[in-house]
Amino acid sequence: MGRDRRFRTTSYPVIKRAFDIAGSAVLLMASAPVSLAAAVVIKAESSGPVIFVHKRVGLDGRSIRIYKFRSMRAGSEKTEAMLNDEELEQFYLEYKLRDDPRITEIGRLLRKTSMDELPQLINVIQGRMSLIGPRPVTESELSFYTEDERKKLLSVKPGLTGLWQVSDRETFTYQSGLRQKTELYYVDNASCALDLRILLKTPAAVIRRSRG
């Protein structure tokens, strides 16, 4: 699967990778007390591991394992057994539920503040993700893209935050087509300047979601 020429022939990938490593290391250290507290509460509230490992599709279509603080009850990956027909229909439209019954109380707080994604900083340091890029997708989500769009989407590393993440998620959906357009716009226009704009918008997006 060919990678965008810009990502092979300019200094942008070098700068991006250096920023990924340095930024992730700083964020991991700064968030260590919060992460420790979250781990203790997760373990105390419900059974199961503190870290949830999920398969996603990464750079060049390779399967990657991404880390999250567990925000759901044990067995939540058995989607069809834990959701009713109406919930399943909504879930398969956008691969998320507004009021997901599988989520624990601490999980709701972690998701609202995006703290559940802090362990993905390890994925960034490992080189499987970037701080900024398209959101990591599942195999099923790739069905919303054409073959050419899939190749383009997977020509860059998925990101911890990105252009779609700082957009209005309620309207930028797969069904409207805006999510796909936003993710592909990033791939076509990725640069240090665009990454900086997304990075600066991320705190406000997180605060907006936490109040929603």
**Predicted confidence (pLDDT) per residue in 147-186, tens digit:** 999 999 999 999 999 999 999 877 889 999 999 999 999 9
Q: Give the bridge partners for 103, in sequence order.
A: 72
pLDDT of residue 66: 96
Q: What are phi and psi of 158, to 5 degrees?
A: -70, 160
Mean pLDDT of 186-208: 94
Q: How far is residue 128's CA from residue 17's CA, in Å, rounded to a whole number?
A: 11
- With beta carbons less than 8 A apart as the criterion, state whether 106 and 38 touch: yes
Output the pTM of the full model.
0.82
pLDDT in tens, 12-67: 999 999 999 999 999 999 999 999 999 999 999 888 899 999 999 999 999 999 99
Mean pLDDT for the stretch of residues 124-147: 96
For residue 46, the model assigns a pLDDT of: 84
Write out the two tokens for 20: 């990924």
pLDDT at 72: 80
Alpha-carbon distance 169 to 209, whole Å?
A: 9
pLDDT band at 81 (very low <50, low <70, confident <90, very high): very low
